[in-house]
Structure 1
C-alpha cells in the first residue's frame, strides 16, 4: 500500500475552499443572534471537515484502505479520484467529475445557495418592518434557510462522502429541526394569531405539491 501522495497535504486548498464556501454562505445568511450562529457554525464545521479530507488528509480513505485495496486492487486509493467514493463503489464508468452524482451535487449546491440568498432577502426586510416573513420562499415553507443548509451539505455528500461528514449530517439535520421548532415558539410569542394563521397554511419543511393559496397576502420585498 502506498503512502498518501501529492493529491493530499494541500492545506492551503483546505483554507481557501473553506473560506470561500463559509464566506459565501455568510454573505447570504448574515447570523445576528446566538441561534443563527449555532446553525451557521454547524454548517461551517461540516464544510471544514469536508475540505480537510478532500485536500488535507484523507482520513476516510486511510481507515478504509485495507478493504478498498482488497475490493478494488486496480485503483490508486490515495489518488484524488478515489476520494469520490461513490464513483469507486459504483464501478468507475466515467471521469468522477462528469458522473451523474457529481453533476447532481452541483444542482443541490446551487439550489441551496439560491434558497439561502432569497430567504435572507425576504427575512431581512421583514425583520426591519417587525413583520412575519411570508414572501418568496417563505410562502412555501416556514424555514427555507435551514432547508438551504441541508441541501448544500447533501450536495457535498453526493460529491465527496467521508465518514465524519456522513456521521455529522443526520446530527445537523436534527439540530436544524430543533432550532426551527424553537424559532417557531418565539415567533408565536411575538406575533400571536398572525403566526398561527401562517403556520396553519405553510408547511415547516416540505412544501405542498398542490393546493397552495396563491391569493394569500404576503409581505412586500
Structure 2
C-alpha cells in the first residue's frame, strides 16, 4: 500500500484542475490582477498535490531526521498528515482535530470568496464602492478567502514547500491589494478614504463599528 500511495500523477493533475476550476467558479477572475491571484493559488495547489500524491519530499526529508522519534512518519499516504504524527494522534487521520479544522477553514474560505464576489459584482453594476457584506469587515475579503483555504490545506497536509510558499503568497496578495487600492482611491476619492479609515485591510477588528454597517 505504501508504494501505491505516491507516484499517482493523474491524481495530482486531476485534483489541481478540480480545485482551480472550483475556485474560479467562486472567484470568477476578470482582470490581470485577478488572474495573478488565481495563479498564486494554483501554484500552491500544484506544490500541495505533488507531495500529497506524487513525491512525498517532506516525509523523506523529515523521516530521515525524525523517523526514530516519530514512528508514524513514514512514506505512506497517512504519513502525510504531519500534525497528527508530530502530536501523537493515533486515530483515523481524517477525523483528527487538525483535519476537521481544515474542513471548516477550506469551506469558510470558499464561502468568503463567493460572498465577497457577489457583493463586489453588485457594486460594480451600480458603479459604487463595495462596502456591504464581508466588505463591511475587511477591505479584501476575497484575498482573505484564498489565504483561509490555504491555511485549511496546511492544517491537514503541511509540506516544506507549501509552508515556505505561504508567507510569500501573503506578501503577493498584500501587494496586489495595495495596487488595487490605489486604483480604487483614484476612482472613488473621499468615499474610499472614509471607508478605508474605518475598515481594516485583512484582519477584522472585534466589535468593529463596521459590523453594524454590514446589513446596510
> TM class by shorter-chain length?
over 0.9
How many residue pairs end up in the alignment? 216
Equivalent residue for 1:169, pick from 159, 166, 169: 166
Alignment of structure 1 residues 1-221 onto 2, 5 Å: 5-73=3-71, 75=72, 77-213=74-210, 216=213
Length-normalised TM-score, structure 2: 0.94
Distance 1:37 1:218 in 2: 30
- Could you tell me how far 1:196 is from its partner in structure 2? 0.7
Cα contact 1:35–1:179 (8 A) shared by 2: yes
Length-normalised TM-score, structure 1: 0.92
- Could you tell me how far 1:132 is from its partner in structure 2? 0.7
Cα offsets for 1:87-117 (capped at 9, x unmatched): 1111133211110011000110011000000
Distance 1:124 1:206 in 2: 22
After superposition, the Cα gap between the structure-2 partners of 1:30 and 1:59, relative to the gap in structure 1 and judged at 3 Å, is same
Cα contact 2:133–2:214 (8 A) shared by 1: no
Cα contact 2:16–2:45 (8 A) shared by 1: yes
- Could you tell me how far 1:129 is from its partner in structure 2? 2.2
Distance 1:213 1:57 in 2: 46
How large is the Cα RMSD of the aligned pairs? 1.9
- Point out where structure 2 has 5 or more consecutive residues left out of the alignment: none
- Could you tell me how far 1:218 is from its partner in structure 2? 7.7
Distance 1:153 1:134 in 2: 25
